Amino acid sequence: MLPQEAIRAKRDGRALPAATIRELVEGIGDGGLSDAQVGALAMAIYLQGMDAAETVALTEAIRDSGEVLDWSDLDLPGPVLDKHSTGGVGDLVSLVLGPWVAACGGHVPMISGRGLGHTGGTLDKLEAIPGYSVTPDTATFRRLVKDVGVAIIGQTGRLAPTDRRLYAVRDVTATVESLPLIVSSILGKKLACGLDALVMDVKVGSGAFMPTAEASRELASTIAEVASQAGTSTTALLTDMSQPLAPCAGNAVEVREALAVLTGERRDGRLLTVTRTLAAEMLLAGGLAADRDAAQARLDERLASGAAAERFARMVAGLGGPSDLLEAADRHLPTAPVVREVRAERAGHLRRMDTRALGLAVVELGGGRRAPDDPVDPAVGLTGIAALGDRLAAGQPLATVHARSEDDAERAERQLLAAVELGETPAPAPTLIQDIIRREAP
């Protein structure tokens, strides 16, 4: 079908055959479609949507537009597993989960991204570690996945290359917020990694990517269904993002928090709970545990033994970072020159938090990007962030700002105070794990 006729068909609300969708994706990738045609197609999909079969076909076509990783020649002794999050504030799950699952027998080739908007990026966090390379050669990547069990890197130019052009056009044509386009973009890249199973963490709350709880649930359900129909068993969890997941937000500060969890210094908290739940689902999906109790017992043993921390250390060293990061984190991770406590202006219970505003405060400190090519300051951020439900006395710290200058710290303090609400009575605690949706591949 001619591209313009396919665009017309979708514009008029008709479903596109899988073969036509594949031709369109090929045209996006090889330049056969002009930017005007790609934009018109994206707008037609945005306005008319896609049914389940179309979304599966689009996902598979994006997945197959470049290299699809094949691990069969490595004779891996365990399953190939991965996790993806829709992003949030203080969400450093990947740093802990990858090595933790590897210590339990999984192999985790995690292709991660940079910060987007108010959400922090896994690659930005890892690049706070001196020497860590997020762009290793393929041989190094494969060797680490086999020998260490985990490698967290950036997207290579050969994985789902069509998605980059399609997303760039969506970004400037007001068509980003389309469920089929969101799902196919996420899954096209992830499924190109040759996974045996995928676990998705879909956030709900004031710091979530999706605007409402209903939209987050629809995204989670659609991702699980589409990925399974595309051949990869997928579990999607709905988790709370009405406050930062960890009590910190930034790059180096989140690496420090990950080390605290991996080494047993931090033995509880929302971050550990969510990570343990996601990791258990990965072990179950990969056949590494018979049931949830067995999965959690195995995870607890591998964390307590230091095996998970050891995998993280080996991954860091294997990708160019310091070999003694666990023992000498303070020597290697950068610190900000200005540290300021932000104190509650009055007594009360912390009832509400604008998590997105906290993420944007970190961006304005320099911990994220206003424009795609902006440098990121790894040292800045927030630590000691109070949790919803906490009872605070007047003058008690709400958080600590780590800034490059006094002016930056003062601005962040104002933003933090404006982002929280204190009240006389506590608000109900948000449910951390709100639902789990499992779909098996046919």
Catalytic residues, which ones?
82-85, 122, 170, 185, 189-190
Residues 6+ apart with CB under 8 A from 215: none
Residues 6+ apart with CB under 8 A from 265: 259
| Residue type for position 156 | T
Strand partners, 199: 83, 235
Phi and psi torsions of 350, nearest 5°: -75, 105
If one counts every other C-beta atom within 10 angstroms of the C-beta of residue 184, the result is 31
Cβ(376)–Cβ(366) below 8 Å: yes
Cβ(416)–Cβ(215) below 8 Å: no
How far is the C-alpha of 5 from the C-alpha of 174, rounded, in Å? 22
Quote the DSSP letter at residue 376: -
Q: What one-character-per-residue DSSP string does 210-255 give?
A: SSSHHHHHHHHHHHHHHHHHTT-EEEEEEEE-SS-SSS-EESHHHH
